[in-house]
Structure 1
Amino acid sequence: MKKRILSYTFFAVVILVVSVTLLVIRQKGPRELQVSIYNQWNELFVHEVSGKKKVFINTKGTKKGNVSLSEAQGYGMLIATEQTHTDSNKSQEMFDKLDAYYLSNRDAGTNLMSWKQVISHNGKRIKKYHNNATDGDLYIAYSLIRAAKKWPQKAPYYKKQAKAILEDILKYNYNSSTGSLMVGNWAKGTKYANLLRTSDVLPAQFEEFYHFTGDKVWLSIKDKMLSNLVELSKKHKTGLIPDMAWIKKDGSVTSVGKKSHFGKYNRYYYYNACRLPYNLSQSNDSKSRLVLRKMMKFFMSRENIAGGYTLSGQQLSNYQSASFGAPIFYAAKDSKKYNKLTQLEKYIFMQKLEVNNYYQSALVTLASEKFFKN
């Protein structure tokens, strides 16, 4: 009886959320909501370096200053290329300031961005950390290619930068033994060279890099890293994939263990792997679709999207998380068979972006492109 009451209560809440969502959309209009999300993103997370015409994405504030990450900068640059509702010149100005910050914070001797910087509160001092994080540079390179298409008058400049980044990713972040990208240049020559961060698998972007450079290594990387995901997907009925996995000498892959250097949750579907529905849904590759379909089937069996899962499908939390829901919504919007997920996750676009949750806000802002696209 108790379970039945809870089920009825949940159903009533879902109906209420959907009704309120539809009412808000009718009152404000999709375009106005999209503008609101982008404006919130710009206001909360885009910060200018004092007097230098450079802007960074502020992931959090500390006593020592604000913190920016290369991943954040990549997201920020990508979001800037998507802001079609604003004047194109203003969008490009924003993009160029983000780009200028990236250029001034590259890892020594490379075109890869320092993975982390701490900016003093007055914006006059920046502490730059050594080494890069692969995902950040992948996003930055992709955003530059998009910028070249959107603002052709400056295309040669953007293309030159994108080419330089992609060459250095292959030079410093590619493991020819595994055929996959490493998590960062610091992993080269260590046991972590065989560590796979599953959120680094960007099949649509890898294909774009191939068309941009003509280098077939990018197609090889796409195929190999997707094959790794397929193998991980087959290990569990849920199709869920861990944040991180080891690539063994024989080429097989397995989730990291309980004593992972990167935290106890990295063997689960957590805050890295939650990006996979967003990443995979952008690709038409058969392996991408295979992995995505199995994951989406699991999520269709859920009554809500929780903040993390074991690979067998047990919830790691009792709260709903937009960090997990936004990528799933993005993937669900492509097919009517996932209408349940589309309706369940619409609520995230009605809420204010959380100032203390950069990561979630970035994923919601990126997913909003699909939400408002007819």
Structure 2
Amino acid sequence: MDRRTALQALALYLLAFSGGAAGRDAKFEASAWSAWKDRFLSGDGRVIDDGNGGISHSEGQGFGALLAQANGDKPAFEQIEAWTRANLLVRHDHLMAWRWREGAGVAPEDQVTATDGDLFRAWALLRAARDSGWPEWAYHAEEIARDLALCCLRPDPRVRRSPLLIPGSASRADAKRVLINPSYIMPRALRELGSAAARADLIAAADHGETVLSELAELGAVPDWVDVTPEGFAAPFEHDYLSGYDALRVALYLVWSGNAGHGAVKRGLEMMSRAGLEDHVAVVTTPGGEVREQSNFAGYAAIAELASCVQTAKTAGDLPDQPYFPATLELLAILAAREGGTCKP
């Protein structure tokens, strides 16, 4: 199947998936949020990753706080934040430990950070104070933003004055090779936090991050993990060189940041359209586009819809049938469609 045929097939699938609906309304969003809480949020504010052994992690707590804020759910927001502060703030800075396991808590090896979780938690706290009228969270957002800037930015080996966002405070980075996860680059969150905390380096990381994503998209599917070297990009030492579940978020975050025309959005849509099974999208490919895994979970299709500017009215009743990750992506895509501005693919 050539590229044009594949994209046409995906467009037809998404239109069928939408039932011809023009979009989602507030009632649908409220129903989807309620279904997500029932499925993944414990009574004490722990976001449960049921597809990963029932653990909780900084990503889930950050996403959960953001979704609670966006849905105006202050009780859920406060529960999530209280659990996070009681269980994941075990370090000497304001960043979270990345993983918590029931019966074990945070093991010593899990006290390392994951930048995307901290970024989304800080953004949720900022939005809570700025947009929701919950001012008590503003200072905490700025504390996290400052520590992200200090601990999770490194110079690009190719352009020394341009900062790269690294995956965690202890991630491998030196003058020769810097490991990055392109899906951690959320330009809108970086810019808004940089402005609020007076950290121009976070804004620069957003700007340079969009450039890096363009460069990667020109080469093929944007990978989950890649090394940046003085000579360009290289396969990382410790990860498979594939475009998979992490990289699906690249298009989501760019559209959410008002950049639906970015080359990485177009490349992501092209890769997702390569699925060979009916009503599926490709979720893992090689950088060259060979499909390794495909899925019919609605959350992954929601990213393709967002990238192609097709909005659906699929019922929130499907959320309980999906694991944590695709279900969460579906809610984030709903929010991105609402906040990302006019869609111009």
**Same fold, TM exceeding 0.5?**
yes
The equivalences for 1:306-317 within 5 A come to 306-317=282-293
- Is structure 2 residue 342 aligned with structure 1 residue 368? no
In structure 1, the residue matched to 2:160 is none
In structure 2, the residue matched to 1:358 is 324
Displacement of 1:112 = 0.5
The alignment partner of 2:96 has SS state of coil
Q: Which runs of 5+ in 2 are unaligned?
A: 158-162
Displacement of 1:360 = 0.8
The equivalences for 1:189-268 within 5 A come to 194-236=178-220, 240-248=221-229, 250=230, 252-256=232-236, 260-262=237-239, 264=240, 267-268=241-242
Contact 2:284–2:294 under 8 Å retained in 1: no
Q: How many residues align?
A: 323
Displacement of 1:234 = 1.6
Separation in 1 of the partners of 2:243 and 2:70?
Answer: 28
Letter in 1 for 2:180: L
Displacement of 1:324 = 3.1
Q: Mark the CA change 1:295 to 1:231 in structure 2 (over 3 Å): closer, same or farther.
A: same
Letter in 2 for 1:204: R
RMSD of aligned residue pairs (Cα, Å): 3.5
Letter in 2 for 1:293: K
- Is structure 2 residue 98 aligned with structure 1 residue 115? yes
In structure 2, the residue matched to 1:185 is 169
Q: Specify which structure has the bigger relative contact order, considering alpha-carbon pairs within 8 angstroms and separated by 6 or more residues.
A: 2
Displacement of 1:327 = 2.0
The equivalences for 1:269-348 within 5 A come to 269-284=243-258, 289-296=262-269, 305-333=281-309, 342=310, 346=312
Displacement of 1:294 = 4.2
Displacement of 1:315 = 1.6
- Is structure 2 residue 40 aligned with structure 1 residue 45? yes
In structure 2, the residue matched to 1:171 is 150
- Is structure 2 residue 75 aligned with structure 1 residue 93? yes
Separation in 1 of the partners of 2:41 and 2:206?
Answer: 32
- Is structure 2 residue 16 aligned with structure 1 residue 35? no
Contact 2:274–2:282 under 8 Å retained in 1: no
Contact 1:107–1:132 under 8 Å retained in 2: no
Contact 1:30–1:372 under 8 Å retained in 2: no
- Is structure 2 residue 72 aligned with structure 1 residue 72? no
Contact 2:145–2:194 under 8 Å retained in 1: no
Contact 1:306–1:321 under 8 Å retained in 2: no
The equivalences for 1:144-159 within 5 A come to 144-152=125-133, 154-155=134-135, 157-159=136-138
TM-score, normalised by the number of residues in structure 1: 0.74
TM-score, normalised by the number of residues in structure 2: 0.80
In structure 2, the residue matched to 1:58 is 48
Identity over aligned pairs, percent: 19
Letter in 1 for 2:78: D
Question: Which one has the largest radius of gyration?
Answer: 1
Contact 2:252–2:306 under 8 Å retained in 1: yes
Displacement of 1:320 = 3.0
Letter in 2 for 1:306: A
Displacement of 1:48 = 2.6
Q: What is the CA deviation profile of residues 267-318 of structure 1, one whole-angstrom value per residue up to 9, with x for unaligned ones? A: 12201101111011122469x7233234445656877522222222222135
Q: What is the CA deviation profile of residues 59-85 of structure 1, one whole-angstrom value per residue up to 9, with x for unaligned ones? A: 13888xx410100001100110121xx
Contact 2:173–2:179 under 8 Å retained in 1: no
Q: Mark the CA change 1:327 to 1:349 in structure 2 (over 3 Å): closer, same or farther.
A: farther
Q: Mark the CA change 1:159 to 1:350 in structure 2 (over 3 Å): closer, same or farther.
A: closer
Letter in 2 for 1:252: G
Separation in 1 of the partners of 2:97 and 2:77?
Answer: 18
Separation in 1 of the partners of 2:196 and 2:330?
Answer: 28
- Is structure 2 residue 89 aligned with structure 1 residue 106? yes
Q: What is the CA deviation profile of residues 110-148 of structure 1, one whole-angstrom value per residue up to 9, with x for unaligned ones? A: 11011001134xxxx734531111110000001111111
Displacement of 1:201 = 0.9
Contact 1:134–1:169 under 8 Å retained in 2: yes
